[in-house]
Amino acid sequence: MMTPAITMESLAIKTENKFRTLVSKRAYEKGEIICAIPSEDVREKPNRFTVQIGRDKHTHVGKLAALNHSCDPNVILDTGNMQMVACKDIEKGDELYFFYPSTEWEMDAPFICLCGSANCINVVAGARFLPLSTLERHYLNPHIRDLMIELLKNTKHNLERLRG
C-alpha cells in the first residue's frame, strides 16, 4: 500500500480555553486514510509532541500532536504503515481522538482520562499498565503487541522461578 503524501490540509487545530484539539475540515468514512504520520524527525526519547513508533523510536508528529486521547477513538495511528486512519465515520468539524496506549508503552506524563466512555481506562499511563482484557478491545500497533508479549513471558518466567 502506498503511503499518501504528508498533507494535512483537511485538519485544523482548534484552541479553546488554552486546550488544543485537532478537528477535521471534511468528512471521512470508516477505513479511509486521513493523512500520513510524519517520520522525518525520529528520536529515542518521547515528549508531548511525539508518538511512539517502535520500541525506542518516537516521531515528532507536528500538527498531529494536537490529537487528544479517547477510550472511544475515531481514528487510529497505524505506525506500521505510518498513516492516520478513520476507525469510525467522521463528520466535518468533528474532533479527532485516538487511544494513546495503542502507540505508547509508557507515557512520559500520565494523566486522568475524562473522556466519559463506558469503557474509560481512567488513568492514561501507557499500554504497559493496562490489563489484556482492556487492550484487546483496541487496535494496537505491532511494537505495543511485541512489548506486551515480552512482559507476559517475563511474568510467566518469574512466576515459575518463584515456584521453584
CATH of 11-163 among 3.40.50.720, 2.170.270.10, 2.40.240.10, 3.60.40.10: 2.170.270.10
User: Is residue 12 predicted with pLDDT exceeding 90?
Assistant: yes
Query: Whole-angstrom Cα distance, residue 76 to residue 82?
Result: 10
Average pLDDT for residues 145-161, to the nearest whole number? Answer: 82
Q: Tell me, what's the pLDDT at 79?
A: 97
Using one digit for the tens of pLDDT, what is the confidence trace for 105-124? 999 899 999 999 999 999 99
Query: Cβ of 64: how many Cβ atoms within 10 Å?
Result: 25
How many whole angstroms from its chain centre is CA 45?
16
What is the value of pTM for the model shown?
Answer: 0.89
Query: Whole-angstrom Cα distance, residue 23 to residue 66?
Result: 9
Query: Whole-angstrom Cα distance, residue 126 to residue 123?
Result: 9
Residue keyed to cell 478537528: 23
% of the chain at pLDDT higher than 90? 78
* CB of 11 closer than 8 Å to CB of 22: yes
- In this prediction, residue 157 has a pLDDT band, given cuts at 50, 70 and 90, of low
User: Is residue 41 predicted with pLDDT exceeding 50?
Assistant: yes
Domain boundaries, given as residue ranges, for the chain: 11-163
> How many CA atoms within 13 Å lie on the side-chain side of 19?
8
